Amino acid sequence: MNTPIRRLSVFSMILFGALMLQLTWIQGFQAEAIRDDQLNRRQYTERLTEQRGPIVIGEDNVAFSTDISEGDDPTRFQREYAGGAMYTPIVGAFRSFGASGIESTENSLLDGSDDRLAVRNFRDVITGREPEGARVELTIVPAVQEAGFNAFQEQGFKGAAVAIEPSTGAVLGSVSYPSYDANDVVSITDGEQANANYVELENDPDQPLLNRALRERYAPGSTFKIVTAAAAIEHLDAGPDSTMDAPDTLQFASGPALPNATPGGTCNGGAPDTLANSIKISCNTSFANWAIEMGGEALAEQSEAFGFTPVEEDTSDLNIPLNVIPSRSPVEADDSILGRAGIGQSNVESTPLQMAMVAAGVANSGEVMHPYLVDSVRDSDRSVVTQTSPEVYSQATSASTAATLTDMMVLVTGPGGSGTNAAIDGVDVAGKTGTAETGGGLGTHNWFIGFAPADDPQIAVAVVIEHGGGSGGSLAAPIARQMMEAVVL
Amino acid sequence: MSTTAPEAPTALPPVQRRNAELVLIGVTVVITMGAMMISGLNLNGQVPGAMWGYGLIFGAMALATHVALRFIAPYADPLILPCALFLNGIGVAMIWRLDAADSGDIEHAGVGMQLIWTAVGMVMCIALLFFLKEPRVLQRYTYISALAALVLIALPMVPGLGISEFGARRWIGFGGFTVQPSEFAKIALVVFLSSYLVTKRQVLSLAARQVKIGRFKILDLPRARDFMPMVVGWVAAIGLLVITKDLGTSLLLFGTFLAMLYVATQRSSWVIIGVTLFLAAAAVAFRLFWHFRQRVDIWFYAYDPDVYDRLGGSAQLVQGQIGMAYGGIFGTGMGGGQAHHIFAADSDFILASLAEDLGLTGVMAILLVVFILVERGMRIALASRELFIKMLASGLAFVMCFQVFVVLGGLTRIIPLTGMTTPFLAAGGSALMASWLMIGLLLRMSDNARRPAPQAIQDEGATQVIRR
């Protein structure tokens, strides 16, 4: 009987060995990943006693920690926010039970626990200084952000706006409206009230907690015609003067007919229309025909070149560092659906950021740069810990295609175009309006994407008004203009 | 393997080594008190009074047990008691530290109950050593111990008596007092299996057919009529699983059953059959019961926010693992971590609390001590002559090993998480008493195995009557 007993001993040894290996894996190799996991609520609760680093926009700290302890109390820091509701969707809120936005994604740097700060912290321990978290400096330009946010506030519609620097991908502005003031939900002295406020926000039907710029999809409507036009140029060798049938109403073998939304419901009096004019006045029927002509594969491929996520991938790997949900432009076979996809309807859905990337890609000679929000991270001595360097995200079109598209998009803000409200005195503005049907008896989404100056793009924007019920030219273009003016004037 | 060759006498040499044991016990007491001291220093910067109070009481109890051992079982293995005391002491220190951090009032934090149960356990251990001079008598109580095991397992299922907590019915309660009968059931089960399998081992080892693939033998199939014990054991395990939803106990008891069946018959085919049956039943349970699907979800998708937020989801497990992650390699130091935020930090998750405060290094040390205990049990089995004792010792050793595996394997996601106590460490009277009873049995068996054979008495005439 000794043989099986010996084997059982060895088996026991194997069990213990497995436990030790797994423990080593968790406590040794995975420890940091687990500590940084968003489910780790401790990283938010136990950091009250430490000097958390600030989040900086422009030259101002928009999130910072203040020592609120009195007398002999143990030190406690209260997180405070500047800028009211304007920056909250980006910066986030550092609450006792969780965090959002940059506060969450850059938490390990802000609280000083990141390995990249280890040397610095060690030095602090030696020299007896209080260790401090790192400064996270964002790419947001206050003037752009204010222009967008104030315009939304005046209008009162829900929606979002994103502005990108085309040559680098730096996010210059990211507005989501309505928003909320982070100070309402982060108090550590009156935690109950803070929590009650948060629950109220969670239950608000206007969804102020939702960052519409990155985490909401809308039908892009006619702004998507830029993608369709790019595909037509790339796949069908079209040019600005190439014509395409543009009946006043397009009939399909199945499904409802497609009308035009242009003034008078016509593009070129029913005659075939040039690509340039179709963009200028935003003609539906010609673009539906372009999409049908090139086929669903070509359209989907061009969308993915701009950054749309293929349908088979259920999450997007785009982190800026806030996670961006995937935008969709599936391959369509049926003509009536494909035709509507060509004008940004049916199954095409996009985040405002994705349409800003389309505009920025055209502006940057066809190269879409990887969007990013964190410009640099510095330690408490202001020496650089990390500095973001621009990266190419994708090559959407050739440089010549981008130049052709730019020339046509300038017509949109010119005389007789659909987006004259985005025109800026003395500067050529390239743009495209969009008005997307939403169904369900709610108003249309109103879009504008564009960039300026057309010959030397400094800023690309995408603006969407949720259920504005008007047109892209009337509601979204003015907001886009104000944001662009903040940079180019 | 029906014959047993006499063992080499070197397996457990007949030396007492009581003084070595005393030194080791001194070390464990110092470690326990040191753990309390460091906790106190970390929690409020002072040496806590509890260190002297609880520490010295624990030391006195340890010493008393040791002295009793010198008289009752002088040849008992000198490593078993120090190992058990080390684990028990670390458990006491940890429970005190958690309570101190939780209540925020260090001088009034208590582990009184845990110490009382420790004392009760030690007294039971000594009493067992005193009254049970010859463990072989347990072999007579085959069916009584079977019945005891069944009753103990079934008690929580009795309506009105059983208490369900955390989705598993593991407790019975009377008068504000709760007991986990399954802790004792496992001992009764080992006793029953030892005596039953010793008598049946010949039959169960018979091979009826060989299953071959090509020229290679895969396994021997036993005779169909001999499947009865396996079927009964399996049905009991599955019944337990379904009715009490206590996956941990079911797994522990069935694993022990298979291990002992293997020791008795040396047929790996039994193990393969048993594991297959159990997995098949688990798969069926997975399809039928939402509770098990939930467990598997927690196991696979612990870090999925949806699973985390679910009622009865992975929150407890993830919090435990977060504690482990904060511990890292060297730990936060006793009292330095946030282990009191871990769910059930002093009972089912005490290993996670220890992992946070003592780090990977500390848990490795604790695991090694448990492992030494297990291997000493196996050595006793090797050194003993009677088959029943061999079975009993190896069975008890394996139960201890497998219980730690089920607990820590669940915490580290090797297997699905199940609620289960850790021997000696976790807070709880039933578990402590059962653990000390097991230690008593091991001590008694090692004493018998190592005691030198009595010298034949000369000049007393040619014959003598030796009475038992």
In whole angstroms, give the CA distance from residue A130 to residue A317: 37
Q: Any idea which residue has 């069990």 for tokens?
A: A15
What pLDDT shows up at residue B48?
Answer: 84
Report the residue of chain B nearest A24, measured CA to CA: B360
In whole angstroms, give the CA distance from residue A451 to residue A429: 6
Out of A18, A27, A35, name the one closest to residue B359 (CB).
Answer: A27
The residue type at A248: D
The residue type at B3: T
Q: Any idea which residue has 């130049």 for tokens?
A: A403
Q: Per-residue pLDDT for chain B (468 aa), expressed as one digit of tens each?
A: 444 545 444 456 677 788 999 999 999 999 999 999 998 888 888 888 878 888 899 999 999 999 999 999 999 999 999 999 999 999 999 998 888 887 767 776 777 888 999 999 999 999 999 999 888 888 888 888 888 888 888 787 776 666 666 556 667 766 556 778 888 989 999 999 898 888 888 777 776 667 666 666 666 677 766 777 777 777 877 787 777 777 888 889 889 989 998 998 888 888 888 899 888 888 888 888 887 888 888 888 888 877 887 777 888 889 899 999 988 898 888 888 887 778 777 888 899 999 999 999 999 999 999 999 999 999 999 999 889 999 999 999 999 999 999 999 999 999 988 878 888 988 888 889 999 999 999 999 999 888 887 766 555 555 666 665
Does the distance separating the beta carbons of A5 and B394 come in below 8 Å? yes
Q: What are phi and psi of B76, to 5 degrees?
A: -65, 150
User: Which residues of chain B are within 8 Å of residue A96 when distances are taken between CB atoms?
Assistant: none
Does the distance separating the beta carbons of B363 and A1 come in below 8 Å? no
* Most trustworthy range by pLDDT among A129-138, A204-213, B179-188: A204-213
Q: A196 touching B, CB under 8 A?
A: no
The residue type at B441: L
What pLDDT shows up at residue B104?
Answer: 67
- Give A174's DSSP letter: E
Report the residue of chain A nearest B342, measured CA to CA: A42
| Residues in Cβ contact with B170 at an 8 Å cutoff, skipping those fewer than 6 apart | B156, B163, B180, B182, B244, B246, B249, B419
In whole angstroms, give the CA distance from residue A448 to residue A483: 12
Out of B305, B327, B414, name the one closest to residue A18 (CB).
Answer: B414
Q: A34 touching B, CB under 8 A?
A: yes
Does the distance separating the beta carbons of B413 and A34 come in below 8 Å? no
User: Which residues of chain B are within 8 Å of residue A13 when distances are taken between CB atoms?
Assistant: 371, 375
* Statement: the pTM of the whole predicted model exceeds 0.85: no
Does the distance separating the beta carbons of B329 and A15 come in below 8 Å? no
What pLDDT shows up at residue B147?
Answer: 87
Which of A12, A13, A43, A96 to substitute to test the interface with B, most B CBs within 10 Å? A12
Query: Which of B65, B62, B80, B195 lies closest to B130, judged by CA?
Result: B65
pLDDT, greater one: B459 or A227: A227
Does the distance separating the beta carbons of A27 and B324 come in below 8 Å? yes
- Whole-angstrom CA distances from A299 to A225, A233, A239, A294, A416 are 11, 11, 17, 7, 28
User: Which residues of chain B are within 8 Å of residue A111 when distances are taken between CB atoms?
Assistant: none
Q: What is the pLDDT of residues A36-88, one digit of tens each?
A: 887 887 776 656 667 889 999 998 999 998 888 776 666 778 899 998 899 99
Q: A26 touching B, CB under 8 A?
A: yes
Three-state SS for A15-53 is HHHHHHHHHHHHHHHCHHHHHHCCCCCHHHHHHHHCECC
- Whole-angstrom CA distances from B261 to B217, B235, B251, B391, B392 are 20, 16, 15, 9, 12
Q: Do the beta carbons of residue A63 and residue A94 sit within 8 Å? A: yes
User: Which residues of chain A are within 8 Å of residue B412 when distances are taken between CB atoms?
Assistant: 19, 22-23, 25-26
- Rg of chain B over Cα atoms, rounded to whole angstroms, equals 23
Q: A21 touching B, CB under 8 A?
A: no
User: Which residues of chain B are within 8 Å of residue A18 when distances are taken between CB atoms?
Assistant: 405, 409, 414
pLDDT, greater one: A120 or B436: B436
Q: CA angle at residue A89 from A85 to A91, to 5 degrees? A: 90
Handedness of CA B305, B307, B310, B311 (dihedral sign): negative
How many contacts, defined by CB atoms under 8 Å, are there between A and B? 131
Pairing of strands A171-177, A159-164: antiparallel
Tokens of B258: 């298979």
> What percent of chain B is helix, strand and coil (3-state, nearest 5)?
70, 5, 25
Residues of A known to be catalytic: 222
- Give A132's DSSP letter: B
The residue type at B244: T
What pLDDT shows up at residue B157?
Answer: 74
User: Which residues of chain A are within 8 Å of residue B305 when distances are taken between CB atoms?
Assistant: 38-39
Question: What is the DSSP secondary-structure string of B162-220?
Answer: EEEETTEEEEEEETTEEE-HHHHHHHHHHHHHHHHHHHHHHHHH---EEEEETTEEEEE
Out of A8, A24, A40, name the one closest to residue B360 (CB).
Answer: A24
Report the residue of chain A nearest B307, measured CA to CA: A39
Does the distance separating the beta carbons of B322 and A18 come in below 8 Å? no
What pLDDT shows up at residue B154?
Answer: 79
Does the distance separating the beta carbons of B408 and A23 come in below 8 Å? yes
Q: Do the beta carbons of residue A27 and residue B324 sit within 8 Å? A: yes
Out of B367, B398, B412, name the one closest to residue A16 (CB).
Answer: B367
Does the distance separating the beta carbons of B401 and A1 come in below 8 Å? no
Does the distance separating the beta carbons of B363 and A23 come in below 8 Å? yes
* Minimal CA separation from A98 to chain B, in Å: 12
Q: Any idea which residue has 């598209």 for tokens?
A: A405
B98: left (phi over 0), alpha (psi -120 to 50) or beta: alpha
A98: left (phi over 0), alpha (psi -120 to 50) or beta: left
Confidence of residue A114 (pLDDT cuts 50, 70, 90): confident
What pLDDT shows up at residue A280?
Answer: 92
pLDDT of A32 over the 80 cut: yes
In whole angstroms, give the CA distance from residue B260 to residue B201: 11
Q: Is B335 helix (H, G, I), strand (E, B) or coil?
A: coil
Handedness of CA B253, B259, B264, B268 (dihedral sign): positive
Does the distance separating the beta carbons of A42 and B1 come in below 8 Å? no
Out of B305, B308, B378, name the one closest to residue A9 (CB).
Answer: B378
Out of B263, B303, B305, name the one closest to residue A5 (CB).
Answer: B263
Which residue(s) pair with A433 in the sheet?
A: A448
- Rg of chain A over Cα atoms, rounded to whole angstroms, equals 26
What pLDDT shows up at residue B218?
Answer: 65
A375: left (phi over 0), alpha (psi -120 to 50) or beta: alpha
First-to-last CA distance in chain B? 29
